[in-house]
Structure 1
Amino acid sequence: MSPTDVAVIGLACRLPGAATSRDFWHLVRDGREVSDSPCDAAEFDADFFNLSPREACAMDPRQRLALELAWELFEDALLVPETSRGEQVSVFVGAMTDDYAVLTLREGTDNLDHHSFGGVSRTMIANRISYALGLQGSSMIVDTGQSSSLVAVHLACESLCAGESRLAIAGGIHLNLADETAMLEKEFGAMSMSGHTYAFDGRADGYVRAEGAGLVLLKPLGPAIRDGNRIRAVIRGSAVGNSGHTSAGQTVPSVSGQADVIRRALARAGLDGGDVDYIEAHGTGTEVGDPVEARALGEIFAERQQDPVRIGSVKTNIGHTGSAAGIAGLLKAVLTVENGVIPPSLNYDSTASGNDLKSFGLQVNTTLASWPVRDRPRRAGVSSFGMGGTNAHVIVEEAPAQPDSVVVEPEQDMPMAWVLSARSEQALTNQAARLAVRVAADDGLTATDVAWSLATTRSVFEHRAVLVGGDRQVLATGLTRLADGDPGAIAGRARATGKTVFVFPGQGSQWLGMGRQLYHRFPVFARAFDHAVDAVDAHLRSGLRDVIWGIDPDLLANTEFAQPALFVVEVALTALLQAWGIEPDLVMGHSVGEITAAHVAGVLTLDDAARLVAARGRLMAGLPDGGVMVAVAAGEDEVTPLLTDGVAIAAVNARNSVVISGAEVPVSALADRLAQQGARVHRLAVSHAFHSVLVEPMIDEFGRLVADVEAGEPRIGLVSNLTGRLAGAGYGSAQYWVEHVRQPVRFLDGVRLAESLGANVFVEVGPAAGLSAAVEHSLSTEHAAAVATLAKDRPEVDTLLVAAGQLFALGTPVVWPSVLSGLGGRQVELPTYGFARQRFWLGLGADAPAPVSRAADLAEQLQALTPDDQHRRLVELVCTHAATVLGHSSSRDIDVERAFQDIGFESLTGVELRNRLKAVTGLALSRTLIFDFPTPAALADHLRRQLLHEDRDDSGDEKIWSSLKKIPLRELRRTGLLDKLLLLAGESDAPLPDPEVGNDIIDALSADALIAMALESNSADDAD
């Protein structure tokens, strides 16, 4: 291995008849001719790249195509594009002519705006890639005419070998959009009249005009092997040179110039003419060019007349793609050495007079042929020549053998998850459809390989779907249904999540065998389960594992074992969820479940929690018989006035759900009375009347046994059952746990508190799913939800994977590689992103300015509406004008919860939106409006306060504070604003808080710090 060897680790293309490198290989392998198949240059997924329709229309389609291909390139390389953000990754793209600029200027000045100059700039083709992906290496356009893209590859290899970049994107793009350029080429006199490319054939009458694009992702070979990258081929050497002055004229190819560049490429690779078996020729099919190329090749290979080098030209398949011709040839060569067969070169008659190239040591390959058997790697050369004399040649070699991944065969019907995501609902459907086609067509694609590849090689976006199943057919069927829009799939749109709450259920949720399936599937669960069982067994009269997984349901139902059993399962389940990246911001429990919450929050050590739960269960089980508990579908306010002696409210679970507890006679009487009034009642299967006066015989002994329990400070927010508030001073003392046994469970108050603190995801961590329903009934926020992790009589692994999928769909971070660890999957090639393309072309612009309206009139209209209708009215106002500014056809195309910058706004379009809103409302609005109020919803709220004079006394720093409060902390971190906030607050040495914690940090900042940060952030964008 030479230090100059470069690995090709990714391919992407859009060529005639081929939207992917896989399609392209099938096309050339099968010997098809599709040169009359143009690229659809107008189609583009602008929203994926946060571009407005207006800007997309102004952009040269080559810029758009470059963006999509660059994304596909990383995915083909099995790399997540975001992992290269901020890295030294270079971009070299070959491009010639500027047809879209010709069209733009031809259309006249009516369609010009501030996007137009950058939109038709050729250099922006490469720069768009660097900007969109955050790449900080060299970024340039290469124009050497028809050799541009292969010269770009050479420059990329040079950059890598010099250590200037760790990865490089190289290739070329060529589109035929303007009739003017076509006329120039026709007048040049080298175009085919027959419409076919006759490379090296006596019938040659010129090149066939075509278009297309291709990119390769390159990496030094040593690091590629070390990092386990999939290596498609190796570039052993390359060279570029110009023919210089020739007597035949500048546009006439030179034998010596072409031979020189091939000879130098071989020398750089440490090879000679006997080490190469195939040449992907420039082969344009021109009367002058091909004979010159044959003679130049003959200078290198003439000695191989007995073992001729096979040659071919991809131009016979797809035509001459101009500045993308060289990359098209390189892609063919890479796929040829990778697959070990040489595709046919078309339109060549070896029997025709004058077509014999044997004297040059060459043979045109006219049929699909196996690679010649050699005792060395397969090697091919690729040539590309520019009309100005700049020539390039690249030597491609078969990839070195790579060790096979060690694959653990999964058990039959082992449940797993296929995870998909996209930037839009349509793209998600496209993803599912593309993957469904691939799975159906490739029987060798295992379910585990698909699961692992989706989890480790794809980016995560807001539109999400998760399929859970135990075999390939079940998952494939789910994929087809998802592609057809079946709502049964776990799917949703992730929103900026608030805080996540772990909720631990209490007694009554247990069942025989709980946790066994999780124990055998997930080592993390098993280890945590074993530790918790060991801690609890020290305080029990019988081994807890045998009770939980035994055959006696009555033994597990005994309070003595039920409560410790729940604690063990909940602790183990928490450890597993945390290993999957699902972390709580708050914890709370129901009755005995609060002991688990206290342990998870760090208040109780494992040993103290185990001792506490064991003593509680044993003493409760030893209470005198008698007493009942009844669940009532009624509110606390309805039930409290009806309480009689001996009856207590044991739990307030939801707005219309309480539990009464006490002696059997009075409790039954009250239950009957409530039932007669129309309330549903249900007697609970419990042995005693917990949380009532009937538990008092155990109080003193319980207090004595737990007197030395030490309570630490909670590491995360802990909501008390006793108070319905956050744990404070005195929480976790022996006296607290005594009161906890006797007093009612104020679960509803805890849910409401958590929601008021910003929680919108509640995870029931334990068996059964009873608390999830109670939480759902208590939530007031539309986008809040409760998710149960286990359910009785359903497979545990399936249920937990479904829960993880539901959380993921809501927006909770889930580390899917951790979820799927142990399955033995490998990274395999999957269909790349399913872009949701729309048509963008010249002529789409903003409408005329909005008519002026008096603020007083609008305010008067708003005052006649409800607050919700006021908000809807102003959101529609903002979205209507935002849609016009961006070039959307409808206000429905504007996502009110996405940041303005993420839907295509920048400084100048932000000012345009401000001007339109200023005209229609009559308000004095800042030119930094879209930065001060970063989403359409936030801006609508600001307009409402201004119009209704609710903001009149706000100081500038208060306005900034209120706008920052609307930005999720994760977004502050992504944009770098969080670092500024912490720095300005003097907290920069402290570790950054978790993105899910919330906006608590903002509350601690001074107004001066906020003002300074805001001014610094917005000054560069202030159009004034």
Structure 2
Amino acid sequence: MLSNDGKCKTFDITADGYARAEAVVAIYLQKATDARRVYATVMNTVVNTDGYKPEGITYPNSNIQYQMLHEVYSNVGIDPRDVVYMEAHGTGTKTGDPEELAAIDRWFCKDRKIPLLIGSVKSNMGHSEPASGLCSIVKVLMAMENGVIPANLHFAIPNPMIPSLTEGRMRVVDKATPWNGGLVGINSFGFGGANSHVILRSNPKVKMSSVPGVVEPLLPKLVIVSGRTKEAVYVLLDKANEHRQDNEFLSLLHAVHSDNISGHNVRGYEILAQEDTREMAEANYDNKRPIWFLFSGMGAQWPGMGRELFDIETCQRSLRRCADILKNHDIDLMNIIMNGTDETYENVIIAFVSIVAIQIALVDMLTSIGIRPDGIVGHSVGELGCSYADGAFTLEQTILAAYYRGKSIADSNLEPGAMAVIDLKWDDAKKMCPPDIFPACHNSAHSVTISGPSISLNKFVEKLKSKDIFAKMIKCSGTAFHSKYVAPAESKLRTSLDMIITKPKQRSRKWISSSVPETAWNSPLAQFSST
């Protein structure tokens, strides 16, 4: 059965046996619903055996092979005429090739309008015996990936003992042949009479994206990977950059590294195609680190914020829902986001609804990709974002609470106010502030936000600067928030909140209040309110 010249001349008139080969092959099977990268789909498989044969144990049986083909296709209702390529067992033996192609001819070629393409990987690499069936599958998968069926080697003149070749019902792929994939049949036979067949359907390679293809390249892509060494992390990030337009590849990286991998104590990330964004750290990551959502308050607004979020379908949908609600209150959120200026955001209502709408969109986006917080904390109007992330408020309640918070301020005709952040300890700030200016927010050990009348606060800021103490004015729409100067708006806000939040929900433990002291977190007030 071995070829004299060390070649598998499969299907050729000179076929005289096979050349032996070695191979190590592993194939990963997954349910389609779990697969991150799909090369092909297994439509069906069947195995049968010849049983006793008077010619001897190694002699093939075309009739039993035909029964196998009939069973594997009939059981799943696949028309054999829909198969576009057949990867044969094709050893190049004098008896094996004619017997196999006789069965293939009977099953596949009846009423076929175009010749069936056939080939055998053994002509390329030899017969790897127990691994040969897997080698055939690998060949077909590579052909599917590259869109080209490799040439069947050592074929010049069809074997006259194979009528389907000489009469044109089959055609050997004897040169690299472009193709668009489809259904493929693969034969693999055993030495003692075992016959097996698998039907593969090629992956159409349509790479789904959550946003239209025309805007996909505009979106920054964050890739986070891990490894045992810095070199490994560098290689992965370099590969991510090389394939940055391949969403399937990036998705695979994300799937691999989304969970902690034992021993991977080097972590790195990069925003693809953005210079100087690669960072790396090495630490013991055996314990999962908590995820916190932090929501900013007034002062975070700027013209153009949220504009690029429209390129992300989830964010766009959330912003449009907010906009639809605000239309009833004569606010055009879409126009504000697309065309807003510094002057636009001086309006306290517009500032509040814009900040909160974007926070809602970001929460929805993170939730959609499976990122949920272990802890939540916010500042000022940012606590409305907390309420949404915590599930205490609906989207409608959250955006309306922002609207009425701003409206209660606007309708109260408050004294013009201002706010600033200064680098002082809390006690020092209380001592240094004039009587009409108040420390409003204790940001950190050496940072305090102060609030008060515009004229007085501006003078105090200049005084601090003259003493080389950092002080910076905050955009606050002319309102001295978190001070006695906003007290006249309280009753209006409470009436509005009672109207839109008829059944308050208790906050969860993961939402930490930045307004209520820790000693009072278990009080009834703190359970249903952040202020």
Is 1:706 matched with 2:468? no
Is 1:239 matched with 2:51? no
Q: CA deviation at 1:330?
A: 4.7
**For residue 368 of structure 1, what is the amino acid of its counterpart?**
K
Structure 2 Cα separation of the partners of residues 572 and 414 of structure 1: 21
Which of 656, 659, 667 is 2:446 aligned to? 656
Equivalent pairs: percent with the same residue? Answer: 20
Is 1:624 matched with 2:415? yes
Deviations 1:285-315, CA, capped at 9 Å, x for gaps: 6xxxx223256458758999xx999875422
Structure 2 Cα separation of the partners of residues 715 and 629 of structure 1: 31
Q: CA deviation at 1:685?
A: 5.2
Is 1:729 matched with 2:519? no
Q: TM-score, normalised on structure 2?
A: 0.68
| Equivalent position of 2:323 in the other structure | 530
The answer (yes or no) to whether the contact 1:341–1:370 under 8 Å persists in 2 is: yes
Which of 199, 209, 215 is 2:21 aligned to? 209
Structure 1 Cα separation of the partners of residues 199 and 493 of structure 2: 77
| Equivalent position of 1:681 in the other structure | 471
**For residue 451 of structure 1, what is the amino acid of its counterpart?**
N
| Equivalent position of 2:401 in the other structure | 609
Is 1:384 matched with 2:193? no
Q: CA deviation at 1:524?
A: 2.9
Structure 2 Cα separation of the partners of residues 293 and 662 of structure 1: 95
The answer (yes or no) to whether the contact 1:330–1:382 under 8 Å persists in 2 is: no
| Equivalent position of 1:461 in the other structure | 257
| Equivalent position of 2:135 in the other structure | 328
Deviations 1:310-347, CA, capped at 9 Å, x for gaps: 87542231122131013323554677799998754333
Structure 2 Cα separation of the partners of residues 654 and 503 of structure 1: 15
Deviations 1:978-1001, CA, capped at 9 Å, x for gaps: xxxxxxxxxxxxxxxxxxxxxxxx
The answer (yes or no) to whether the contact 2:39–2:203 under 8 Å persists in 1 is: no
Deviations 1:895-948, CA, capped at 9 Å, x for gaps: xxxxxxxxxxxxxxxxxxxxxxxxxxxxxxxxxxxxxxxxxxxxxxxxxxxxxx
Which of 85, 96, 100 is 1:293 aligned to? 96
**For residue 318 of structure 2, what is the amino acid of its counterpart?**
F
Structure 1 Cα separation of the partners of residues 362 and 105 of structure 2: 72
3-state SS, counterpart of residue 588 of structure 1: strand
Structure 2 Cα separation of the partners of residues 406 and 645 of structure 1: 58
| Equivalent position of 1:505 in the other structure | 296
Counterparts in 2 of 1:243-258, with a 5 A limit? 243=52, 253-254=58-59, 257-258=60-61
Structure 1 Cα separation of the partners of residues 125 and 461 of structure 2: 82
The answer (yes or no) to whether the contact 1:651–1:659 under 8 Å persists in 2 is: yes
Deviations 1:699-734, CA, capped at 9 Å, x for gaps: 356336626855542245443343343644342799
3-state SS, counterpart of residue 394 of structure 1: strand
| Equivalent position of 2:331 in the other structure | 543
The answer (yes or no) to whether the contact 2:41–2:203 under 8 Å persists in 1 is: no
Structure 1 Cα separation of the partners of residues 334 and 457 of structure 2: 36
3-state SS, counterpart of residue 212 of structure 1: coil
Structure 2 Cα separation of the partners of residues 428 and 418 of structure 1: 17
**For residue 299 of structure 2, what is the amino acid of its counterpart?**
G
3-state SS, counterpart of residue 207 of structure 1: coil
| Equivalent position of 2:123 in the other structure | 316
Is 1:394 matched with 2:197? yes
The answer (yes or no) to whether the contact 1:532–1:568 under 8 Å persists in 2 is: no
Structure 2 Cα separation of the partners of residues 273 and 582 of structure 1: 46
The answer (yes or no) to whether the contact 2:91–2:97 under 8 Å persists in 1 is: no
Q: Count residues in correspondence.
A: 487
Deviations 1:529-565, CA, capped at 9 Å, x for gaps: 2255257x3xxxx636499456664353144553455
Is 1:557 matched with 2:346? yes
Structure 1 residues 237 and 339: CA distance shift in structure 2, 3 A:
farther
3-state SS, counterpart of residue 392 of structure 1: strand
Deviations 1:21-56, CA, capped at 9 Å, x for gaps: xxxxxxxxxxxxxxxxxxxxxxxxxxxxxxxxxxxx
| Equivalent position of 1:645 in the other structure | 435
Structure 1 unaligned spans of 5+ = 1-189, 440-446, 469-474, 741-1024
Structure 2 Cα separation of the partners of residues 610 and 310 of structure 1: 66
3-state SS, counterpart of residue 323 of structure 1: helix
Q: CA RMSD in A?
A: 5.4
Structure 1 residues 264 and 709: CA distance shift in structure 2, 3 A:
closer
Q: TM-score, normalised on structure 1?
A: 0.39
The answer (yes or no) to whether the contact 2:8–2:154 under 8 Å persists in 1 is: yes
The answer (yes or no) to whether the contact 1:277–1:379 under 8 Å persists in 2 is: yes
The answer (yes or no) to whether the contact 1:211–1:320 under 8 Å persists in 2 is: no
Counterparts in 2 of 1:29-108, with a 5 A limit? none
**For residue 327 of structure 1, what is the amino acid of its counterpart?**
L
3-state SS, counterpart of residue 189 of structure 2: strand
| Equivalent position of 1:357 in the other structure | 160
Structure 2 unaligned spans of 5+ = 259-263, 499-503
Structure 1 Cα separation of the partners of residues 523 and 372 of structure 2: 25
3-state SS, counterpart of residue 652 of structure 1: strand
3-state SS, counterpart of residue 368 of structure 1: coil
The answer (yes or no) to whether the contact 2:442–2:449 under 8 Å persists in 1 is: yes
**For residue 213 of structure 2, what is the amino acid of its counterpart?**
P
Deviations 1:449-480, CA, capped at 9 Å, x for gaps: x3367448962415877776xxxxxx6xx3xx
Structure 1 residues 618 and 407: CA distance shift in structure 2, 3 A:
closer
Is 1:451 matched with 2:247? yes
The answer (yes or no) to whether the contact 1:512–1:551 under 8 Å persists in 2 is: yes
3-state SS, counterpart of residue 410 of structure 1: coil
Q: CA deviation at 1:206?
A: 5.8
| Equivalent position of 2:501 in the other structure | none
| Equivalent position of 1:443 in the other structure | none
The answer (yes or no) to whether the contact 2:226–2:268 under 8 Å persists in 1 is: no
Counterparts in 2 of 1:147-186, with a 5 A limit? none
Structure 1 residues 357 and 397: CA distance shift in structure 2, 3 A:
farther
3-state SS, counterpart of residue 264 of structure 1: helix
Deviations 1:75-127, CA, capped at 9 Å, x for gaps: xxxxxxxxxxxxxxxxxxxxxxxxxxxxxxxxxxxxxxxxxxxxxxxxxxxxx
Deviations 1:353-397, CA, capped at 9 Å, x for gaps: xx953466556948328799xxxx9876634231xx233253758
**For residue 513 of structure 2, what is the amino acid of its counterpart?**
S
Structure 2 Cα separation of the partners of residues 663 and 719 of structure 1: 30
**For residue 613 of structure 1, what is the amino acid of its counterpart?**
R
**For residue 343 of structure 2, what is the amino acid of its counterpart?**
D
Structure 1 Cα separation of the partners of residues 186 and 149 of structure 2: 13
3-state SS, counterpart of residue 67 of structure 2: helix
Structure 2 Cα separation of the partners of residues 330 and 667 of structure 1: 76
Q: CA deviation at 1:518?
A: 3.3
3-state SS, counterpart of residue 208 of structure 1: coil
Structure 2 Cα separation of the partners of residues 237 and 399 of structure 1: 19
Q: CA deviation at 1:230?
A: 7.2
The answer (yes or no) to whether the contact 1:294–1:360 under 8 Å persists in 2 is: no
Counterparts in 2 of 1:105-124, with a 5 A limit? none
Structure 2 Cα separation of the partners of residues 317 and 658 of structure 1: 75
The answer (yes or no) to whether the contact 1:528–1:572 under 8 Å persists in 2 is: no
